[in-house]
C-alpha cells in the first residue's frame, strides 16, 4: 500500500534556534506498481530519492528483474536517484558460489544496469556489487564495490568496501567476508548528484564514525549505507547507528537494505530508511520488497549546520582528528 505522510516541524529545534524555519517534507512509502497520491506543489521543488528494498538470492537473473521493476517504479514516481542495497546482484550460499557468480565491472550485469539507467533517465546507487577486480587472476578474491551510475548510464564513482564484516554473533551465524573479499584501499570523494553530494559507504562501514566524518569534511551532504544487516544486529543496532551517523555528521543518511530469507543459510533484517540531518527517520520501507521515497532539502541541512556548528567547535588538539579530510 502506498502512503503519504507530511512530517511536522521539529519543535525542539525550533526552541533551540528561534526563527529557524523547519520545512515540511513529504514522505512516500510504496510497493511496486502502485500510484502515488497527490503531493503539494511546493514539495516538488525538492529532489526526490527512492530507496529500494529487495530479497536477493543466488538467482542473478531474477534479482535483476526485481530490481529493474523497482527502479522503473521509482522513475515513474519522479525520483531522480534510486538506491539499491548491498548484494543487489546476488547473495550466495557460500564463498565458493560467491566467487563463481561474481563479475567484473565491465561484465553483462552492470551493462544491463547501464542500459536501465539510460532507459529510465535515473541516477543509480548500486550498493554492493561483487566485483572481480583487475587483480582477480592473482588473488582469486573480489571487492564489495559500490557503483554510482548517472542518468546516461556512465560509471561516475566506485567505492570498494574498506571494513569487512568478520564477526560471529550468537543466534545470527558467523560472517567471514574476508574469505572471499579484499578490503578496499581508500575512500571515495563525495560525488555530486541531482540530490546532493553523496558520500559512499557500505553496511559494516556504518560502525566506524571516522569514515562518515571524513566524508562530511570532504563535502558530503548525503551518506549512503547500502546494507544486508542480520536478524540479531538489525533490531539492536540498525536504526540507532543510522541516526547517530546522521546527527554527528549533519547529513542525510540513505540506507537501502536487504530483507527476508535469501536461502536456507541466511536472512536479512530490512527496514530500509532515510534519516534527515536532525536524526529523524523521514521514510522507511514496510516489510518485504518494495521502496520508499523522500525529498532532500539541502537548504534545511545548511541552516541546521549554521545554527548548530559542531564542526567549528571541534578540538582536535585535545583528541586528534577522528576523521581526516580526504586528500
* pLDDT per residue as tens digits for the range 129-178: 999 999 999 999 999 999 999 999 999 999 999 999 999 888 887 888 99
- Report the CATH number at residue 232: 3.60.110.10
Let me know if residue 190 belongs to a domain: yes
Q: Which domain holds residue 210?
A: 48-312
Let me know if residue 25 belongs to a domain: no
The domain total for the chain is 1
Let me know if residue 150 belongs to a domain: yes
Rounded to 5 degrees, φ, ψ at 165 are -90, 95
Which positions are catalytic?
Answer: 86, 161, 203
Let me know if residue 3 belongs to a domain: no
DSSP state of 69: H
Let me know if residue 20 belongs to a domain: no
The CA-based diameter of the chain, rounded to the nearest angstrom, is: 61
- Torsion sign across C-alpha atoms 131, 292, 33, 117: negative
Let me know if residue 10 belongs to a domain: no
Let me know if residue 8 belongs to a domain: no
Structure confidence at residue 159 (pLDDT)? 98
Let me know if residue 31 belongs to a domain: no
CA–CA dist 202, 223 (Å, integer): 10
In tens, the pLDDT along 58-100 reads 999 999 999 999 999 999 999 999 999 999 999 999 999 999 9
3-class SS of residue 211: helix
Residue 10 scores a pLDDT above 60: no
**pTM metric for this prediction:** 0.89
Amino acid at each position: 500500500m502506498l502512503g503519504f505522510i507530511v512530517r511536522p516541524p521539529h519543535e525542539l529545534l525550533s526552541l533551540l534556534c528561534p526563527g529557524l524555519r523547519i520545512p515540511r517534507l513529504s514522505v512516500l512509502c510504496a510497493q511496486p506498481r502502485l500510484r502515488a497520491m497527490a503531493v503539494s506543489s511546493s514539495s516538488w521543488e525538492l529532489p526526490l530519492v527512492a530507496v529500494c528494498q529487495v530479497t536477493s538470492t543466488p538467482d542473478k537473473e531474477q534479482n535483476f528483474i526485481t530490481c529493474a521493476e523497482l527502479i522503473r517504479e521509482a522513475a515513474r514516481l519522479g525520483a531522480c536517484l534510486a538506491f539499491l542495497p548491498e548484494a543487489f546482484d546476488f547473495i550466495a550460499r557460500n564463498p565458493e558460489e560467491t566467487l563463481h557468480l561474481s563479475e567484473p565491472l565491465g561484465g553483462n550485469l552492470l551493462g544491463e544496469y547501464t542500459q536501465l539507467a539510460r532507459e529510465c533517465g535515473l541516477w543509480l546507487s548500486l550498493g554492493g556489487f561483487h566485483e572481480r577486480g583487475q587483480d582477480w587472476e592473482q588473488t582469486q578474491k573480489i571487492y564489495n564495490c559500490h557503483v554510482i551510475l548517472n542518468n546516461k548510464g556512465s560509471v561516475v564513482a566506485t567505492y570498494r568496501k574498506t571494513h569487512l564484516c568478520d564477526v560471529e554473533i550468537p543466534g545470527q551465524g558467523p560472517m567471514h567476508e574476508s574469505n572471499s573479499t579484499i578490503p578496499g584501499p581508500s575512500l571515495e570523494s563525495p560525488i555530486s548528484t541531482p540530490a546532493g553530494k553523496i558520500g559512499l559507504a557500505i553496511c559494516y562501514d556504518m560502525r566506524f564514525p571516522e569514515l562518515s566524518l571524513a566524508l562530511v569534511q570532504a563535502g558530503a551532504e548525503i551518506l549512503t549505507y547500502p546494507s544486508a544487516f542480520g536478524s540479531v544486529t538489525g533490531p539492536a543496532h540498525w536504526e540507532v547507528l543510522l541516526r547517530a551517523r546522521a546527527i554527528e555528521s549533519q547529513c542525510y543518511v540513505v540506507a537501502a537494505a536487504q530483507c527476508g530469507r535469501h536461502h536456507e543459510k541466511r536472512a536479512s533484517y530490512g527496514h530500509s530508511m532515510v534519516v534527515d540531518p536532525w536524526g529523524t527517520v523521514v521514510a522507511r520501507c514496510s516489510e518485504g520488497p518494495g521502496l520508499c521515497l523522500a525529498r532532500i532539502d539541502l537548504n534545511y541541512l545548511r541552516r541546521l549546520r549554521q545554527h548548530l556548528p559542531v564542526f567549528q567547535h571541534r578540538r582536535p588538539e585535545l583528541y586528534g582528528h577522528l576523521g581526516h579530510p580526504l586528500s
